[in-house]
Structures are given as C-alpha cells and as structure tokens.
C-alpha cells in the first residue's frame, strides 16, 4: 500500500500549504512522526469563508436531483481513492485495516443515504394551509412553509472516526445534503487522510459543476483556528465531535457572537450498563465476556464505549475482570489522548474508595495501554460526581450495589449520555419500568441485552443525548434526521404561486409528500 505524504489544505478549488506553524501527525503503532503540515491562519480562513458565502446562494437553488447526483459522485470518488485511503488512515490513526475498510463503507453508505433522501424531496417538510376567505370572525390567510439551507457550516473532524466523522463524514454529508457549503477544520491527527478526502471532493465538484466554495479544508493544530472559524460571521452552524471541553469552548464562542449560532456538539458519555439480578443468576459469564469485548473494542475509543457498569455485589466484577484481561490491547489514537488516559487512570487508582481489578496506568508504552476495570460501591460513587466524567480509552468502572434500590439511585445520579443499556430477561419485574423511565431521561438511546459500541446508520437512529453527551439532545448526528440540524424553516403568507419554491407550489411539481391542511398528501392543489 502507498501512504500519502500530501498534507495540503483546500480552499476555493485550490490546494495550498498553510502559511502558519507546521505540525505533524503521529503513527501510534510505530510511535513515530509523519509528514508535517502547515497550519492555516486568518488569511486562509477569510478566503474559505468568502468562497463559502459566495457558494451558498448557488447551492440553495440546486434541485434535490442535482444535490443527489453530486453526493453519489462524491461517494464514488471516495471509493476511487482505493487502498491509499486505507493505508493513510491506518498510519495516522493506528486503526486496523478491517476497521477502516468498514468505516469507508459506512462513510460512503451514509453519503448515498442522504442522496436518496434529497432526491425524494419530502425531507423539506413542506406544509400548506390554504386560505379560507370567508372564515369568521377573521379570514384565514394562505400560509406555506418548508425547510431550507442555512448557509455555510463549520465541521470539525473527529479523532476516533477519521472517515465516518472525518472531513467528509456524517456532519459534512448532512450539511451538504441540505444545500449548505461546508468549511472543514481537519483534525490534526490525520491531515493526509483529510487531504485525500479533499481530492475526492475536488473531483466531485468539478464533475458536477458545483461552485468551488462548496467545500474547504483548513488544516491546523491548536485551538485558535477552530475558534476563529466558529466566530466568523459567514458561518451559520457548527458540527463537532470531540471532548466536553472542546465542545463547550465552541458553544461559548458561538453564543458570544453578535449573531449567535447553533453548535451541534457530540461530547462526553460514559454509557452506563445495568446488569439486572436475573442475569447474574442465569448467564452472567457470557454477558461479562461480551461486555469485556465492548470495553476493549477500538482501545475504548468509541463515543459509546461502556465506561460504567452497575450491578449487585457478587461474582460479576471478577468475571468481567477475567475476560477483560484476556482481551488484546489496542493502540491509542495519538500521544495526547494516550497521556490523558494514563493520567486519568492513575488519578482514579489513587482513590482509596476505588479498587483496581485489572489493568492500571503502568503500561510501558502509553500508546498501548492495559485494558482496565475498577470497582466502587454505589454509596461512594454517588458521593463523588467526578466519577461521572468520561475517561476516553479502554477502561470501565463497576458500581456494586447492595440492592435494586441502590441501582435506581445510581441511575438517578446520571448526567446526560448517548446510551444506556439494560441486561435482563425478566421483563415483568416491577423494578424494570422505573429504571427504564429514568434512563430514558438521561440517554438518547436505551439498549436491551446488547452492548453500546456499534451505531446503526438508519432513519430511526438517535445518536445524541442530554448535556454533556451533546449540546442539542433533540437532534442526532447519525441517520437521516441529522440533516435537520443544518436547516431553517421559512414561511410564505399569501405568496403568489409562481413565486413560491417548487415544494410549495399548487401543482406539486416535485411530487413529494406534503402536509396539506394538516393531512399528509401528494395531491396537487386545485383552486
């Protein structure tokens, strides 16, 4: 395989080297620095923002068919990058070949899913209430509304999914599908991977005759560039996947703008797993084995990794510990994440109320840490809010409860999470319903008898949750509904039919499903 050494930024249809300080990615498997990349600064940001602002009205007028063709072309161009994309992603992330091959399939699949969505056109949620001129005491006006593109969107690539949440991942696909130009702040851990995606995008833009400002890639290390991007007046929304500290910083910047904008941030989650008493009696060892595999998967660097286990006192802790110790050790994504993980595990191990069952912070190479499991009592867990904080890596904390009441108390102490899981077959037990009700309040997705790692890309998926899991719990960053984050609703009152957007015209020229006087309909309006 050939590894790309090109680490260019991409602005207004041109590849260029950032004029700022250079930085480099890191190969975590071989523990060595990769090719350096120049950081973009104010001048490059201004060029990207101007190009995106110029492209916005052009993209807003593109038909669903045109955008669908563009997205289909983009997916094909990503596939055409071939093994070079896989090899480059492996070098910059340490992720195995099979994982990245699957992630490439997911990336192209979600782009094509958005293409099908916008080609159908009904996603704009066209709603029409026709006039009633003789209504008493006041006439009813004709009011029609639909979702439209928002404008330039800033997208931040994630460290743990260099493809699926990278430069052309889910946030980018959703924003483009809605008709918005995007300005991507590439993650500094994989600049060469980001450049390859920009090459695929460049070919799609040229092939489909889209404006050059449809996409920009700004490479850069540090926080300044990202903060300046969010603060730029041309940007109308932000998509972010990363830490609570990073997401909150962008939220604060966006809120302090003269024109505040929404930040759709996916941040921290410990994804609690509740093991009910019947499981302990019937199949505890198999559940412990599955849970250990989920904790160690991808070196624990999944946003849905199970960082908390809640169950009754017994043998389950030792069973899980045994299975976890047998799991292969993975590689952390970069030295910064590795060092943060080591420090966090070491801090927990210093707590006298926490018992280390396996692993710890003593790995000789922080980039390849031990899989760790710790144990704490429910009483001490509830008394220490700091234990609710996510540790990003292959570690979980098992909370031992004396009874079901304590398990419920732990659930009530939870902050917002992406997921919560319940393992049980005793669906008629009276304690189950209140537990489910509580977990539904604090998690975007509740699973039964499964493991939280693995997110199905489908229309029903909810990948979000109450803060600090995400900044907007009513939205999702995965699935068809992700498109709605990057839209604005506009209404037209008593507007002449010829001036209306096609989705709202009487004849329904797009043949889409609309809400007509409160009822779903594909019919044309005859007047």
Residue numbers annotated as active site? 266, 303
Beta bridge pairs of residue 289: none
**Quick check: 275 and 309 in contact, CB under 8 A?**
yes
DSSP 113: H
DSSP 3-state assignment of 276?
A: coil
The burial of 155, by beta-carbon neighbours within 10 Å (0-12 exposed, 13-18 middle, 19 or more buried), is given as: buried
d(CA 169, CA 185): 12
Q: Which two tokens stand for residue 490?
A: 């506009």
Q: Radius of gyration (Cα) for the chain, nearest Å?
A: 25
Residue 451 phi, psi dihedral angles, 5° rounding: -135, 140
CA 172/CA 78 separation, integer angstroms: 14
Determine the Cα–Cα distance for residues 152 and 233; give it in Å rounded to an integer: 10
35 φ, ψ (degrees, to nearest 5): -60, 145
**C-alpha torsion sign, points 237, 239, 245, 246:** negative
**Phi, psi angle pair for 120, to nearest 5°:** -65, -45
Beta-bridge mates of residue 417: 443
Handedness of CA 378, 383, 386, 388 (dihedral sign): positive
Q: Which two tokens stand for residue 296?
A: 């160690």
- Rounded to 5°, angle at Cα 163 from 160 and 168: 125
What are the contacts of 288-294 at 24+ separation with CB within 8 A?
A: 288/316, 288/319, 288/320, 288/322, 288/323, 289/323, 290/451, 291/320, 291/323, 291/396, 291/451, 292/320, 292/323, 292/324, 292/326, 292/327, 292/371, 293/323, 293/327, 293/451, 294/451, 294/452, 294/453
């Amino acid at each position: 395989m050939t590894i790309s050494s090109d680490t260019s930024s991409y602005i207004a249809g041109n590849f260029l080297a950032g004029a700022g300080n250079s930085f480099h990615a890191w190969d975590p498997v071989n523990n060595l620095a990769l090719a350096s990349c120049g950081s973009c600064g104010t001048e490059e940001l201004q060029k990207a923002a101007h190009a995106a602002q110029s492209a916005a009205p052009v993209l807003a007028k593109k038909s669903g068919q045109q955008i669908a063709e563009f997205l289909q072309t983009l997916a094909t161009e990503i596939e055409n990058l071939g093994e070079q994309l896989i090899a480059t992603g492996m070098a910059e992330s340490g992720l195995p070949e099979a994982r990245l091959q699957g992630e490439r399939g997911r990336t192209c699949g979600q782009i094509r899913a958005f293409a099908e969505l916008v080609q159908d056109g009904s996603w704009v949620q066209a709603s029409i209430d026709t006039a009633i001129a003789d209504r008493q005491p006041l006439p009813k006006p004709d009011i029609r509304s639909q979702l439209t593109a928002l404008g330039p969107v800033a997208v931040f690539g994630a460290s743990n999914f260099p493809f699926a949440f990278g430069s052309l991942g889910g946030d980018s696909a959703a924003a483009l599908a809605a008709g918005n130009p995007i300005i991507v702040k590439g993650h500094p851990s994989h600049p060469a991977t980001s450049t390859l995606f920009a090459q695929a995008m460049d070919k799609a833009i040229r092939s489909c005759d889209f404006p050059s400002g449809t996409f920009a890639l700004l490479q850069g290390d540090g926080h300044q560039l990202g903060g300046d991007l969010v603060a730029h007046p041309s940007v109308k929304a932000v998509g972010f996947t990363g830490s609570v500290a990073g997401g909150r910083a962008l939220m604060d910047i966006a809120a302090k703008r003269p024109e505040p904008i929404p930040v759709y941030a996916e941040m921290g989650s410990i994804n609690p797993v509740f093991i009910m008493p019947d499981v302990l009696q019937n199949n505890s060892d198999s559940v412990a084995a599955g849970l250990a595999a989920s904790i160690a998967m991808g070196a624990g660097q999944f946003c849905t990794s199970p960082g908390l286990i809640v169950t009754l006192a017994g043998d389950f802790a030792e069973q899980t510990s045994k299975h976890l110790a047998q799991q292969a050790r993975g590689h952390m994504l970069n030295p910064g994440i590795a060092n943060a993980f080591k420090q966090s595990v070491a801090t927990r191990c210093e707590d006298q109320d926490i018992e280390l069952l396996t692993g710890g912070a003593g790995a000789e190479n922080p980039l390849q840490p031990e899989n760790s499991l710790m144990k704490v009592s429910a009483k001490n867990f509830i008394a220490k809010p700091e234990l609710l904080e996510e540790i990003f890596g292959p570690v979980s904390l098992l909370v031992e409860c004396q009874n079901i009441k304590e398990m419920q108390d732990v659930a009530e102490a939870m902050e917002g999470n992406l997921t919560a899981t319940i393992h049980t077959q005793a669906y008629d037990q009276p304690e189950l319903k209140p537990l489910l009700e509580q977990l539904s309040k604090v998690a975007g997705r509740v699973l039964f008898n499964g493991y939280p790692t693995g997110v199905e890309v489908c229309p029903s998926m909810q990948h979000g949750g109450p803060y600090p899991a995400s900044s907007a719990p009513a939205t999702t960053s995965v699935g068809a509904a992700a498109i709605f984050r990057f839209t604005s609703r506009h209404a037209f009152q008593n507007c002449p039919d010829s001036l209306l957007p096609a989705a709202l015209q009487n004849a329904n020229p797009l043949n889409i499903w609309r809400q007509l006087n409160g009822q779903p309909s594909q019919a044309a309006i005859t007047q």
